Amino acid sequence: MASVFDERRYIIPFRSSLLPQIFTDVLVIGSGVAGARAALAAAPHAEVIVLAKGPARNTNTSWAQGGMAVVSDDRDSFEAHVRDTLVAGAGLCDQGVVERVIRAGPERLRELLAWGLRLDRSEEGEPALGREGGHHLARIVHADGDATGREIQRVLSDRLASVAAIRRFDDCFALDLLTPGREPGSPVLGAITYHRRYGLQIVWAKATIIATGGAGCLHRETSNPPEATADGLAMAYRAGATLQDMAFVQFHPTTLYIPGAPRLLISEAVRGEGAFLLDDAHRRFMPEIHELAELAPRDIVSRAIVDRIRRQGGGHVWLDARGVSDFASRFPGITRSLARFDLDPATDLLPVHPAAHYMVGGVRVDACGRTDVPGLYAVGEAASTGLHGANRLASNSLLEGLVLGEAVGAAALEMLGTSSAWGVAPRPGPARLVSEIPPSDHAELDVDDVRSSLRSAMWRYVGIEREGAKLDDVLDMFDFWARYTLDKVFESPEGWETLNMLTVGAVMARSARWRQESRGCHWRLDAPAPHDSLLVHDGWRRGRDDPDTRPVDSRAPLDPLQPEASRGVSPVAAPLSKG
C-alpha cells in the first residue's frame, strides 16, 4: 500500500494560465557549487535561470569549512584517493563515477584558480594540504583556513553575474515541478515559484536541474543552514522521480554544544591538525576504537561519541585543540564563533556533539544527472550519483559539485533538440495545468509545533543509531501528522518547507526500516552487521510502498538516442528504469 504522502501531487492549488509566465531553456533550482557550475556549463548554448532560495551566504556550499579533496601533490595519487573513497562508501560506490570525479579534480581546481580562487599556500607557494577523516594522505585544499566553501561560492557567484545568458532570481522559493500528467514518468516542464515581492510565477523550462542541497534541518541537531529543508528532494518525489539510499545521512562528529545556541560546526580539519576528543574524565578514547583515531570515518567517530555520552551521562564530550599551533590564524572563522561564547581554543576545552551534516542519498541519477523523469536532472547533495555510496568521504562534496555540475549542465542541453536520452520529444511547455485541493475538514494547526516535533523525532529515531521498532513508531507519527497537515493549503515558505520535511522524513524512515543491516553511516542497533543481500541501492517512488532495489550497472552504456549536445560527457552509469 502506498504511503499517505503519495496522495498529494502539488502543495498548493493553482491554474497555470492565471499566473505570470517566464520562459527559459534551462532552469537550475539552487545556486551552490553544483547549481552554479551546471548553469555555467549550459550558458554557452542556452538561456539559463538560476533560482536562489536565500542569500548566497546561506548555501550549503558557503557553510562548508573543511575544504576540497583533490590530488595535487606528487606524494598522492588518483588510485589512493579512489581507494579511500571506496572504503568510506562501504561497498555501494559506483567505481566508475568515483574514478571519473577524482581524475577530473585537478582540472576543475585549475579552472577555479583561473577564475580568481584564493587558496591557502605553503611557504613554497604550493597549495597547503590538510588531512581529514578517512583520508590516509593530506589532500584537502583550503581557503582562509576554514572558509573554503565561502570562497568557492564567491568565485562562482561572480562568474554567474558575468554571463549575460544567466539570470539569477534571488529569494525565490520553488514550490513544485510542473508535469502535464499526475503519474510518475510525466515529463517535467519547469516549476511554480514564489517570490516575496512578485508572488507566484510559472517558469517554463526545456530542462530543469535540481541542485537544492540537502536535508540537514530535518534533524534537531544540524550543522546546516536554515534553508536545508529537503525542498528539492520533495519536489522531485512528488513529480515521480525516485529517491535512492535515503537511509544514508552523514553526521558530523564535532559541532559546538552550547544548550540553547545554534550548533556551530568545528571543522574536521581541526582534528587533522592534531586536536583530539576527551570524555568527562579527560581521557582520550578514539585510539582504542579505530586505527585512525579522531580521523576515522565520520560515522565511526560520531557513534563513538554517542556511546561515550551514554556511558558517562551529560550532553557532550570535549574537543582538546590546545595543542594546535596558530589556531586563530589557521581557523579564523571558528575562532570568531568561539569567542561569542567566551571560549578560547588555546586554553579551553570545547564541548562538542554530533549533528546531521550531509545527505548521502538523494534523487537517483545516472552519471550525467538524468533522473527517471524526462526533462529532470539532479546534481550535488540533492542527487545520489554513486560517488559516496553508503558514506561520504570528507571533502569530496565540493569536488563532486564542480565535476558533475559541469557534466549535468552540458547534458541538459540535450533537451533543447528534437530528441532526448529518454526517447521522447522534449516538452518545453506551456501547458494548461490545474491543481485543485479541497478545503480541509480539520482544525488549523501550529506549523512550528509540527516542525519541532518532526525534528525531535528524526533525531531520536532516525538519527545516528536506529532500531526497527522505533522506526515503526516514527512512521506511525508521520502518518498521524500527515492526516492533519497534508490536507492544508499553506501560504508561506515556512508551511511549504514543513510539508517537504514531512514528505522526505517519511521516505528516510521507510528506507532506514527497510535496510535491516548496518552499513556506512546507517547503523541499526538491532542489525549491527552488514549483509551481502542488501548490497544494493534502495529506491522510493511516489505511489510505491516497496523499494526498487536494483543496483545501477556501471558497465552498461547510456541510451543510444543520446544527442550530440551531451556526447562529450563520459557516461559511467546505466540509464534508470522509467517504469
- Say how far apart CA 120 and CA 114 lie, in whole Å: 15
State the Cα–Cα distance between residues 139 and 135, nearest whole angstrom. Answer: 8
> CB-hemisphere CA count at 13 Å for 217?
21
Taking the alpha carbons of 254, 256, 260, 261 in that order, is the dihedral positive or negative?
negative
CA distance 242 to 230: 14
- Are residues 194 and 11 in contact, defined by beta-carbon separation less than 8 angstroms? no
The residue type found at 398 is L
Strand 48-52 to strand 21-29: parallel, antiparallel, or no bridges (unpaired)?
parallel
Interatomic CA distance for residues 70 and 78, integer angstroms: 9
Where do runs of H (alpha helix) occur along 326-394? 327-330, 332-339
Output the nine-digit C-alpha cell for 204. Answer: 517554463
How many angstroms separate the Cα of 374 from the Cα of each of 174, 423, 424?
19, 9, 8
Residue with cell 552540458: 410
Grid coordinates of 147: 572558509
Is the CB of residue 463 less than 8 Å from the CB of residue 303? no
State yes or no: is 542 an active-site residue.
no
- How many residues are listed for the chain in this entry? 579
C-alpha cell at 203: 517558469
Candidates 238, 271, 298, 392; catalytic one: 298
Measure CA 474 to chain center.
Answer: 23
Nearest to 417 by CA among 566, 543, 548, 258: 566
Ramachandran area for residue 185 (φ above 0: left; ψ -120 to 50: alpha; else beta)? left
Amino acid at 458: M
DSSP conformation class of 522? B
- Per the DSSP assignment, residues forming a β-bridge with 127 are 121
Peptide bond into 430 cis (omega under 30): yes
**Which residues, other chains included, contact 34 with Cβ-Cβ below 8 Å and sequence gap of 6+?**
211, 379, 380, 381, 382, 383, 400, 401, 402, 404, 405, 408
Cα distance between residue 500 and residue 175, in whole Å: 9
> Catalytic site residues?
298
